[in-house]
Amino acid sequence: MDTRAGHPQTIRRTGRTGYEIRAIPPGTLQELRARDDAGAPPRTVVDEEGGNPLRCCLERSRPGETLALASYAPLRRWARETNADPGPYDEVGPVFIHPRDCGGWAGAPDGGYPEAMRGELRTLRAYSAQGRILGGLLLDRTREGAPTVEEGLAQLYADPLVAAVHVRAVEFGCFQVETRRYGTE
């Protein structure tokens, strides 16, 4: 487990690809549970059906589970931490989190991408260290031969200018998970 920056259970390095997979850090979650990135208190909802992606632990909700729905600005948060300037690329969107500390993401058993954050349609957005979009990929698992999330991330991180890649769901545009470069392959 990587506990750099005081965020146990939120970061997992992938040995082969040179990037870290990150859940929303505990300190940020604490802030979002009080007041979200749009300046409002989060909404408490009961997820009757279950299956919603939880960005605190990178798992899926259970039927009947109480969740917090909060506005989150992942690029803005990353930019503050890294002194980047997202400018017009800054955006705020909804995320589901547990309303109380759940212990965070324990990491994938193989050190890879979290299974609960997979989906048939994903988009990957690559950002430079300055906070500018460098490009992206559409991942459509309904098409034969489509790249996996891991293959898409490896393709984007092959560009040495890519500092971070956000994974989003295509259907609603929701942020799924953040990845950051940690070194070279």
pLDDT digits over 31-59, tens only?
999 999 999 999 999 999 999 999 999 99
pLDDT in tens, 131-182: 999 999 999 988 988 899 999 999 999 999 999 999 999 888 889 999 999 8
In what order do the strands lie in the sheet containing 19-22?
A: 11-13, 19-22, 175-181, 162-169, 121-128, 133-140
For residue 66, give the 3-state DSSP assignment: strand
Angle 147-92-53 from CA coordinates, rounded to 5°: 50
Q: Between β-strands 133-140 and 162-169, what pairing exists: parallel, antiparallel or unpaired?
A: unpaired
Q: Which two tokens stand for residue 115?
A: 């299974």
Are 1 and 9 spatial neighbours (Cβ–Cβ below 8 Å)?
yes
Are 69 and 96 spatial neighbours (Cβ–Cβ below 8 Å)?
yes
Q: Where are the domains of the chain?
A: 4-181
pLDDT in tens, 58-110: 999 999 999 999 999 999 999 998 899 988 988 899 999 999 999 999 887 77
